[in-house]
Chains A and B, each alone.
Chain A
């Protein structure tokens, strides 16, 4: 890439987007000419992954600045897109609409939490950490508080949180690759991993940045196109976000009409694992205020502590740009998040409403079992019907679906051409890959920069440091893929845990590092160690049948962990001596945008 690459970005990505749209059209034509569904799926995944790999190769670098922070020259809007791709994981793409579909209001706390957190990022942290000029989040902790122990503890928290998250993402790439390429999951996981490493290994943060922008474009097209298409095809309106009020009300009516019948445990035992029926009202408030708020709060504080997001703001050219870039990130995230509830509404109504041609509730069981798409998704273990009451008709409580099916199957149910399903597979792959790349890079960079370079061998040359960084990238990727191949945890559960771990250990040490001058090394170490340990202890306790307290569940244990972290940090800071004059001066300098960065000066 030549020096004027940055100036040409709008043009480069404009051509890229045009090319991608052209590819979709070619695939649509091929479908009309008789190309099989399987070939289309393979083409979509192979074509997009090949593009990412090419971008990764073109972004190769031998400079530490480019490898760790993309040369600090990523423009605000593009960094916003890259952050949005970094942020929206396989879970957001594939599982979110399904979660809303099944759990309604209680689940939507995640939407509020995963967006509201960016207000904290913009106002409390991102601009100040950018001014600091660090390469990684532990770099900030280590320099602000001083000492190897604080740096090391930050690496530990980062690794625990990010590793929990990344196994879920590799699992998601594996799931999509295995469906699209028709290979067993155990191998598909490694296909996914290799695709992920192709983007990040040669170019580090620079490679990841430019592939993430490309991945954002694929995933947002793949999410929005079906939503708009399904909406107008159903006659619900050409702009679903503003026009689905009648549909939401209609679902409410149908829920009343059908009623929520509770299935007996014996009946439910026949339902395949992971599938669920509609048991909660679509738009009614079905959670207690604290249940909703505690989950939203945990996700917001977790957002502000997750290092793979924070490090994206290290790549902007200035402090001012970092602030604006947070706004753009959230705007690009908003485009997808505000569409997920609309997709859930359309999906639910098209299945429930007997007056629509796609409605299946109220039809005879035999009729439903003969539908093509039902047979396909039943074979994929994502749909199931059973005549519990023996009346031959499908009732609301007799229809079961997997959470992923809302995104993956709705286009087919609504009668869209298969090319859209191929597109959705490519979008899900892009979402999971981009997040996995950001996470693996965050862990590998923290270990290579903070543990290897700053603690073990401060005299290491750049070339050697980058070799270490790349070896770690591969090792961590394989470790995560190996765990993912075991399939021990669900995608969504482990994503939420990652937020709780991050907030338990890092939220207050980061925030107070900027906003409380009196915070010192001892306090920060106590905050990180006790926060993480108490959060972990609470999780283990509740998982093993503990009752918990204050309504804090295994999904919100970070609230307990971060409270312990805050108390420990304040108390220990106050009983030990205040930070030295140099550190206090450093905090003063972090607080003004002008002047040189803190670390660059040393």
Chain B
């Protein structure tokens, strides 16, 4: 297998992991919104309410930075990263 298709395979793998996490916190948990809201979440807010106010939003921010770092590592591993700094 060529270097390029190996790189793409890893990139695609990372995409699936990223989208899986995204799916859980944007769609998955809200299937159980009513049940989850009975539970007390961080800082004492009802759990579903907390996810809609802060939780899911914050997780998305962290997820994007994590994804960007992992993708950079993959690019470096195959020597596809760009020269120069950003």
Which residues of A line the B interface, CB within 8 A?
Answer: 75-76, 105, 108-109, 111-113, 115-116, 118-120, 122-124, 127, 241-246, 248-249, 283-285, 287, 289, 292-293, 296-297, 300, 316-321, 323-324, 326-327, 330-331, 334, 337-338, 341-342, 588, 591-594
Known A289-B33, A318-B84: A122·B68 in contact at CB below 8 Å: yes
Cβ contact within 8 Å between A122 and B67: yes
Name the interface size band of chain B.
35 or more
CB closest residue in chain A, given B33:
A285
A127 to B57, CA, bound (A): 21
Contact B22–A120 (Cβ < 8 Å): yes
Q: Which of A246, A327, A337 has the most CB of B within 10 A?
A: A327
Contact between chains at B81 and A320 (CB < 8 Å): yes
Residues in B lying within 8 Å of A, measured CB to CB: 4, 7-8, 11, 14-15, 18-19, 22, 25-27, 30-34, 37, 43-46, 48-49, 51-54, 56-58, 60-61, 63-65, 67-68, 71-72, 75, 78-84, 86
Q: How far is the CA of A283 from the CA of B37 in the complex (A)?
A: 9
| 23 residue pairs bridging A and B, Cβ less than 8 Å apart | A105-B52, A109-B52, A112-B52, A113-B26, A119-B22, A119-B60, A123-B19, A124-B15, A248-B46, A283-B45, A284-B46, A289-B33, A292-B33, A318-B84, A318-B86, A320-B68, A323-B64, A323-B71, A327-B65, A592-B4, A592-B80, A594-B75, A594-B82
Give which listed residue, A111, A330, A591, contacts B8 with CB less than 8 A: A591
With contacts A112-B26, A116-B25, A283-B45 taken as known, whether A326 is within 8 angstroms of B64 at the C-beta atoms is: yes
> With the chains together, A592 CA to B18 CA distance in Å?
18
Contact B82 A330 (CB under 8 A): no
Most buried by B among A297, A316, A330, A337: A330
Q: Is the interface of B mostly helix, strand, loop or mixed?
A: helix
| A105, B68: Cβ atoms closer than 8 Å | no
CB-CB under 8 A from B83, the residues of chain A are: 594
Given contacts A111-B52, A323-B68, contact A293 B30 (CB under 8 A): yes
Given contacts A293-B27, A323-B67, A324-B68, contact A334 B33 (CB under 8 A): no
Which among B8, B11, B49, B65 is the interface contact of A283 at CB below 8 angstroms? Answer: B49
Is the Cβ of A331 less than 8 Å from the Cβ of B86? no
Residues B80 and A242 in contact, CB atoms below 8 Å apart: no
Judge whether A327 and B86 touch: CB under 8 Å: no
Which of B26, B79, B84 has the most C-beta atoms of chain A within 10 angstroms of its own C-beta? B26
* B64 touching A330, Cβ below 8 Å: yes
CB < 8 Å neighbour of A334 from B25, B51, B58, B80: B58
Residues of B within 8 A of A592 (CB): 4, 7, 75, 78, 80
Q: Which residues of A contact B75 (CB under 8 A)?
A: 320, 592-594
- Smallest beta-carbon distance A445→chain B, Å: 24
Whether B48 lies near A243 (C-beta < 8 A) is no
Interchain CB contact under 8 A, A338 and B33: no
Q: Please, which residue of chain B has its CB at the minimum distance from the CB of A76?
A: B86
For B14, the chain A residues whose CB sits under 8 A away are 123
What is the minimal beta-carbon distance from A299 to any residue of chain B, in angstroms?
Answer: 10
A302 to chain B, nearest CB (A): 13
Supposing A111-B57, A296-B27, A330-B60 touch, asked if A319 and B68 sit within 8 A by C-beta, the answer is no
Contact of A118 among B45, B49, B54, B60 (CB under 8 A): B60
Beyond A105-B48, A246-B44, A287-B33, 10 extra complex contacts between A and B, CB < 8 Å: A109-B52, A118-B64, A283-B45, A284-B46, A330-B60, A591-B4, A592-B4, A592-B7, A593-B75, A594-B80
Tell me whether A123 and B15 are in contact (CB under 8 A): yes
Complex Cα spacing A334 to B67, Å: 18
Question: A residues within 8 A CB of B4?
Answer: 588, 591-592
User: Nearest chain B CB to A323's CB is how many angstroms away?
Assistant: 4
Tell me the complex Cα distance, A284–B36, Å. Answer: 11
Using known A-B contacts A123-B67, A334-B57, determine if residue A245 contacts B43 with beta carbons closer than 8 Å: yes
What are the residues of chain B within 8 A of A323 when measuring CB–CB?
64, 67-68, 71-72
Let me know if B82 and A318 touch, CB within 8 A.
Answer: yes
Contact of A331 with B61 at beta-carbon distance under 8 Å, contacts A76-B86, A112-B56 already known: yes
In chain A, what residue has the closest Cβ to B66?
A327
Q: A105-B52, A120-B22, A245-B44 are in contact. Are A593 and B64 (CB under 8 A)?
A: no
Docked Cα-Cα span, A323 to B7, in Å, equals 17
Docked pose: A112 CA to B71 CA in angstroms: 24
Q: Which 9 A/B pairs are nearest by Cβ-Cβ distance?
A: A245-B44, A321-B86, A116-B26, A108-B52, A323-B68, A327-B64, A341-B53, A283-B49, A119-B22
CB pair B31–A289 under 8 Å, yes or no, is yes
Q: Please indicate the chain B residues that have their CB under 8 angstroms from the CB of A244 in the complex.
A: 45
CB of A338 within 8 A of CB of B34, answer: no
Report if A116-B60 is in contact (Cβ < 8 Å); known contacts: A285-B34, A592-B80: yes
On chain A, the residues within 8 Å of B64 by CB distance are 118-119, 122, 323, 326-327, 330
Interface pair B61/A330, CB less than 8 Å apart: yes
Residues of A within 8 A of B27 (CB): 293, 296-297
- B37 / chain A contacts, CB cutoff of 8 Å: 283-285
Q: With A108-B53, A119-B63, A285-B48 as given contacts, are A320 and B72 in contact (CB-CB < 8 Å)?
A: yes
CB distance from A289 to the nearest CB of B (A): 5
Residues from chain A with a CB closer than 8 A to the CB of B22 are 116, 119-120, 123
Complex CA gap A320/B22 in Å reads 21
Contact of B82 among A284, A319, A337 (CB under 8 A): A319
